[in-house]
């Protein structure tokens, strides 16, 4: 499973990228707002930092303007995935932009039917929002599993990009189900390395080592 980092924090991206943990980056208007930076400036910087796809979101709601904004953000790097919402106009924009050879990430997916439409429209990525479904007492992982089944049934090449990841468990669950990509905040990716038994075992090793009075250096 590929790891995309869901942030506009370039320092956090650089740290994870050095470890080989960044296969791509996703951004959205909320993350750009949080960064306090100009959208074009930060997207171009991120695009130059990583080799994989960088999702840059359009903010228009109508088809014509969405396409124009898509063309504008595509200029910011050769690895830009134009992000459009899963609305009828968004699907029209996806069809148009993907037909021009652009990568397109269709976001805000909450149903299998929506994911099926996005694949038919030529989406490179479909972004089902796990956490937001969980907030409604629905199991977001069920949606990932259903989309996986449908895409596999018909050989759709659209990649399932598990989004709205809230925990390290979400990451492992998405991987077990077969999501192609999971996008998560930097803190969640770091949490994947943590385990209480690892900490306990390390403490025991260090305690015993101190008793030997030895030094490796």
Task: Write down the residue that tokens 């979101």 correspond to.
Answer: 57
* Residue 174: φ, ψ to 5°: -65, -40
Q: What is the mean pLDDT of residues 126-133?
A: 97
The pLDDT value recorded for residue 131 is 96
Q: From the centroid of its chain, how far is CA 201?
A: 33
Q: Which residues are catalytic?
A: 83
Q: How far apart are CA 56 and CA 73, in angstroms?
A: 7
* Residue in 190, 183, 193, 191 with CA at minimum distance from that of residue 8: 183
Tokens 């990451």 sit on residue: 171
Phi, psi of 181 (to 5 degrees): -140, 150
- pLDDT tens by residue, 174-206: 999 999 999 999 999 999 999 999 999 999 999
Residue 98's alpha-carbon distances to 26, 40, 102, 123, in angstroms, are: 18, 21, 5, 7
- For the chain, give every domain's residue range: 2-212
The Cα–Cα gap between 5 and 28 comes to: 12
Q: Which two tokens stand for residue 71?
A: 């063309």
Mean pLDDT of the chain: 97
- Is the CB of residue 128 less than 8 Å from the CB of residue 106? no
Task: Give me the CATH code for the 2-212 domain, please.
Answer: 3.20.20.70
Q: pTM here?
A: 0.94
| pLDDT tens digit sequence for 59-105 | 999 999 999 999 999 999 999 999 999 999 999 999 999 999 999 99
Residue owning tokens 């008793």: 211
CB 131 within 8 A of CB 166: yes
């Amino acid at each position: 499973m590929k790891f995309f980092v869901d942030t506009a924090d370039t320092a956090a991206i650089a740290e994870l990228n050095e470890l080989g943990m960044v296969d791509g980056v996703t951004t959205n208007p909320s993350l750009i707002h949080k960064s306090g930076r100009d959208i074009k400036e930060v997207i171009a910087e991120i695009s130059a930092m990583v080799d994989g796809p960088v999702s840059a979101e359009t903010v228009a709601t109508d088809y014509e303007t969405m396409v124009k904004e898509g063309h504008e953000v595509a200029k910011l790097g050769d690895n830009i995935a134009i992000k459009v919402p899963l609305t009828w106009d968004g699907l029209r924009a996806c069809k148009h932009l993907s037909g021009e050879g652009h990568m397109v990430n269709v976001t805000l997916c909450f149903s299998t039917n929506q994911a099926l439409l996005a694949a038919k429209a030529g989406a490179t990525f479909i972004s089902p929002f796990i956490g937001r479904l969980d907030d409604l007492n629905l199991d977001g992982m069920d949606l990932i599993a259903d989309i996986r089944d449908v895409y596999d049934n018909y050989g759709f090449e659209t990649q399932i990009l598990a989004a709205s990841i809230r925990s390290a468990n979400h990451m492992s669950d998405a991987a077990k189900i077969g999501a192609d990509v999971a996008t998560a905040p930097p803190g969640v990716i770091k949490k994947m390395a943590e385990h209480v038994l690892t900490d306990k075992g390390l403490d025991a090793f260090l305690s015993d080592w101190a008793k030997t009075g030895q030094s490796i250096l």
